[in-house]
Structure 1
Amino acid sequence: MRSKGRRRRRLVAAAASAAGSLLMVMPATTASAADTPVDPALPTPTSPVGYGCNGPDWATPTTSPGFDIRVGIPAPTVNGVHYAGVVHAWDLDGSQEADGSANQLPVPSQSINVPLTLADGHTYGWNVSTSDGTAYSNPTTTCYFTADFSPPATTVVTNPDFPPLSGPGAPLKEAGQPTTFDFRSHETPPSGCDTTGTPDCLASGMDHFAYSVDQQVGIGAPQVPADAEGRGSLTLSFGWGSHTLYVVAVDAAGNGYNMAEYSFYVPWQLPPPAATTLSLTAPKSAGRATAMTVSGRLSAGPYPSGEVVHVTRTDLGHTTGTALRDVPLSADGTFSISDTPQIGGANTYRVSYPGDAAHQAATASATTQVSRSATPLTLTTKASVYDYGATATLTAALGSTYNGRTVSIYAQPYGGSKTLIKTGTVDTSGHLSATYKLSRSTTFTASFAGDYRYAPAAAARTAYDRVALAETLGSYYTSTRVGTTLYRVYHHTASAVLKAAVTPHKTSQCAHFQEQRFSGGAWHTLLTTGCSPLSSAGTAYGRFSLVHATNGSFRLRAEYAQSPKDTTNVTTWGAWEYITVKK
């Protein structure tokens, strides 16, 4: 870069003559500094106006060759001496420099042409001195500017509502509806430059877009700003018919003569939206953490570019759904969803199309069962058969899982409804226990609902329940003990009556009675009765004759026999009742 305090290399040969043209270009020379005396007493020019100083930093001069600078000359005539303004300019890369001056005329300001050939993308410096014909004043502050002769590229205009007349697609809006045009352009690098931004390859950059409707862009045309990426937008509405939007991209230096034309048609009224159906196909099953594809199709195509469908996925971890990326819709209405589900179980994909001016909205869903690992679950009780009214203890044991350790235990009495006994988190050993009071045979189940990676599991256990069977002996006249066993004593003329009372009542079902005699050191069965129907009170009686039983030892008991039609309680024997017979 040249020093902004550089002195002139030569005197301006103004030759003191006032004749000739107002402006006289003085060529630059390469004389030594000794030929350029400086007189600090000479007045410095005032108010230089030109590129980079009180003017634009980017130059697009129309004067050929060089460029013009307007300079204020203080006291152009002092004691008969006339002063002239002299401009010195140079290319910052050192490739060229030039001087320009004007005749020493008694005017307060002068327009001076500098015969420097400007190159696109190059940066220049200049300053001004006053000359009395023999010496120069101190120069003004140096000013800098960059030449930009290259206009931006032709604007690319897009509008999804009104496709260009020469392209595919149909209008999506009608007359009077607002629509937005998007503009895109970029600054063209100077000749010989691959990109802008390096020395000698500078460009002013995009500034705005000028536009006009149905006539070419002219002076004073309306504008929209361009952003840092060379983009802009414009929202307008149009009447019915064909229209053309003309757009010119303009850079910060004012270059702009590549005009774009976007012709389109605006209908008076749009046809009603077509009914659409959405079909969706998903695999019935898939592996967890494995890529899968869901495909779909919308009817009533074609569809304009840029249309999408919205996708949500519902799974065990997202019961209200989680949004996936929008999926582009092809012109023929087809689309494809790629996903890698991380959670097992039912994964439901719901796809919705919001509709547009030509198509109605549509939705569809499809479910894929994503695999999960199996885990063991068992359920045990301390016994298989319980007395009536006894309490059963149940223990569920759950194997390995991922993020769920909850087990539920249910009871369903025979002939009754299934009810929840307990729900809870298993302990560190995987166990969960519960108790249940039995009044009839009951099937217990334990269930694990599954988690993100392990499938649901269930186990069952049936505990059978006896009836409560109470026995009562009647008609004896005394009691005695043989060892620790209590015997009831009867006359041989009496009959032994054994009453059986069953709880719960089993009306019309059967009770049986059994008689055994002690002989030869063992008990031997003498009699087992047939069915004795139970009364509505749940009772039945067994009667045994003792006429020929003198001096004998006997024992009696009752049995409730489970009916094929009533499986709520199992067959139940009563306790032995002991008797002896006297004469």
Structure 2
Amino acid sequence: MLDPTPPPPGTPRELYLAFDTLWSGSPAKPLTVSGRVKDAADAAPPAGTELTVTRTEKYSGATKALGTVKTAADGRVSLTDTPPTTGAYHYAFKYAGSAEYNGFTETKIVNVDKSRATLTLDRNNAVAAYGATVNVTATLGKTLTNRVVEIWADPAGSQPNRLIKKGAVSSTGKISASIKLTRNTAVTAKFAGDGGFYDASRTVNLWTKVAASTTLKRHYKTAKIGTVRYQYFRKSTQPLITHTVTPYPGRKVRTTIQYWSGGNWKLWSARNTKLTSTGKASFSFLSAAKAGTRFRVQVSYLPGTTATTAGDRLNYNTNGPWKYFVLTK
């Protein structure tokens, strides 16, 4: 604190510069260092009092002269500057002194750091059919110089992470890519950063079903019961049930067979069957059910590694369509 006791007549008075609050800035963005020049009695020097200003980067020691500023009638001064890059900048305001006032140098330290870039990616947790093409869009917010975004796709399992698209975003900050899905895939948008913004990335999951279908053979006719189409089998003939599911080594599928009773579908049986290398699972349906009993059968892919699941987690839970059949005499 300056001593408020008035100095003897003819003695130069002390001045100081009280800075306004400013602790940080961003590279290549203008910032304003300001404050008020006054003496211990809160009196300002004459308007137009001149101060010279320099800027020194703490770590490199690089110093730049920024010219002069002049006080207003109330002693206020301000300087607008654009730091070129990150660092700790010392802004030194120097008054040379006069017969009325002693000289001084006051320094304000401003830390200039990068900002966090805003990057978003849509379609998180979207579920797609096997082989579907899904469009994803990344949106990049404000940056300094770099407007390039990369989009990567990393399928589940041993397939490699791959670059799908790299390019400058549009005037609205968007870039889109199309990805054909055969497995669950993690999609990542990446921004490498620049002189004013840190790098950023965002990841979404795209879930991918398997292809799953069922066929029935050895029937003697097809007809509707109500609105549902049934295949008809003699009780003396064992229906041949064949599932076709996207293959993968060691993959199993779940077969569910239900029968119609009392106005509801009820469980008849369930079994797991290992797929062949071409994605087939076939078996004959053996049943002591009465003639006229209606059935339906469905194949399911259940991701997991337990005894009742598929043995892998490469795809999303998938239920194939029901196939309906009836046993007759």
**Structure 1 residue 442 displacement after superposition:** 1.0
**Structure 1 residue 287 displacement after superposition:** 7.2
Question: CA–CA distance in 2 between the matches of 1:496 and 1:518?
Answer: 17
Question: CA–CA distance in 2 between the matches of 1:373 and 1:409?
Answer: 22
* 1:294 counterpart = 2:59: yes
Correspondence for 2:293 among 537, 552, 566: 552
Question: Map of 1:466-545 to 2, 5 A cutoff?
Answer: 466-503=209-246, 505-529=247-271, 531-545=272-286
Letter in structure 2 aligned against 1:386: A
1:421 alignment partner in structure 2 = 164
1:456 alignment partner in structure 2 = 199
Q: Give the conservation status (yes or no) of the 8 Å contact 1:513–1:542.
A: no
Letter in structure 1 aligned against 2:293: G
2:90 alignment partner in structure 1 = none
Shift in CA distance, 465/557, structure 1 to aligned 2, threshold 3 Å? same
Question: CA–CA distance in 2 between the matches of 1:424 and 1:507?
Answer: 37
Question: CA–CA distance in 2 between the matches of 1:582 and 1:291?
Answer: 95
* 1:578 counterpart = 2:299: no
Q: Give the conservation status (yes or no) of the 8 Å contact 2:257–2:269.
A: yes
Correspondence for 2:315 among 554, 562, 569: 569
* 1:388 counterpart = 2:153: no
Question: Map of 1:73-472 to 2, 5 A cutoff?
Answer: 288=27, 291-294=56-59, 342-344=84-86, 371-381=113-123, 384-414=126-156, 415-472=158-215
Q: Give the conservation status (yes or no) of the 8 Å contact 2:254–2:301.
A: yes
3-state SS of paired residue (1:495): coil
**Structure 1 residue 463 displacement after superposition:** 0.8
Higher radius of gyration, 1 or 2: 1
**Structure 1 residue 474 displacement after superposition:** 1.6
Shift in CA distance, 532/370, structure 1 to aligned 2, threshold 3 Å? farther
Question: CA–CA distance in 2 between the matches of 1:295 and 1:343?
Answer: 12
1:505-545 Cα distance to aligned partner (Å, 9 max, x none): 2233212110112233332222211x212223322124322
**Structure 1 residue 406 displacement after superposition:** 2.0
Question: CA–CA distance in 2 between the matches of 1:292 and 1:449?
Answer: 25
Structure 2 runs not aligned, ≥5 long: 1-24, 29-54, 65-81, 88-110, 306-310
Shift in CA distance, 391/382, structure 1 to aligned 2, threshold 3 Å? farther
Question: CA–CA distance in 1 between the matches of 2:283 and 2:139?
Answer: 48
Q: Give the conservation status (yes or no) of the 8 Å contact 1:509–1:563.
A: no
Question: CA–CA distance in 1 between the matches of 2:212 and 2:283?
Answer: 14
**Structure 1 residue 572 displacement after superposition:** 2.3
Letter in structure 2 aligned against 1:520: G
Question: CA–CA distance in 1 between the matches of 2:56 and 2:297?
Answer: 75
Letter in structure 2 aligned against 1:527: S
3-state SS of paired residue (1:545): coil
**Structure 1 residue 456 displacement after superposition:** 1.3
Q: Give the conservation status (yes or no) of the 8 Å contact 1:440–1:466.
A: yes
Q: Which moved more, 1:410-419 or 1:533-542?
A: 533-542
1:128-158 Cα distance to aligned partner (Å, 9 max, x none): xxxxxxxxxxxxxxxxxxxxxxxxxxxxxxx
Q: Give the conservation status (yes or no) of the 8 Å contact 2:119–2:138.
A: yes
3-state SS of paired residue (2:122): strand
Structure with a larger share of its residues in strand: 2
Q: Give the conservation status (yes or no) of the 8 Å contact 2:153–2:164.
A: yes
Question: Map of 1:42-61 to 2, 5 A cutoff?
Answer: none
RCO (CA 8 Å, sep 6+): is it higher in 1 or 2?
2
3-state SS of paired residue (1:566): coil
Q: Which runs of 4+ in 1 moved over 6 A?
A: none
Shift in CA distance, 382/445, structure 1 to aligned 2, threshold 3 Å? closer
Q: Give the conservation status (yes or no) of the 8 Å contact 1:494–1:547.
A: no
Question: CA–CA distance in 2 between the matches of 1:557 and 1:291?
Answer: 75
Q: Give the conservation status (yes or no) of the 8 Å contact 2:294–2:324.
A: yes
Q: Give the conservation status (yes or no) of the 8 Å contact 1:507–1:538.
A: no
Question: CA–CA distance in 1 between the matches of 2:112 and 2:183?
Answer: 41
Question: CA–CA distance in 2 between the matches of 1:295 and 1:435?
Answer: 46
Question: CA–CA distance in 1 between the matches of 2:56 and 2:326?
Answer: 85
Question: CA–CA distance in 1 between the matches of 2:187 and 2:144?
Answer: 25
- TM-score calculated relative to the size of structure 2: 0.63
1:315 alignment partner in structure 2 = none
Q: Give the conservation status (yes or no) of the 8 Å contact 1:499–1:541.
A: yes
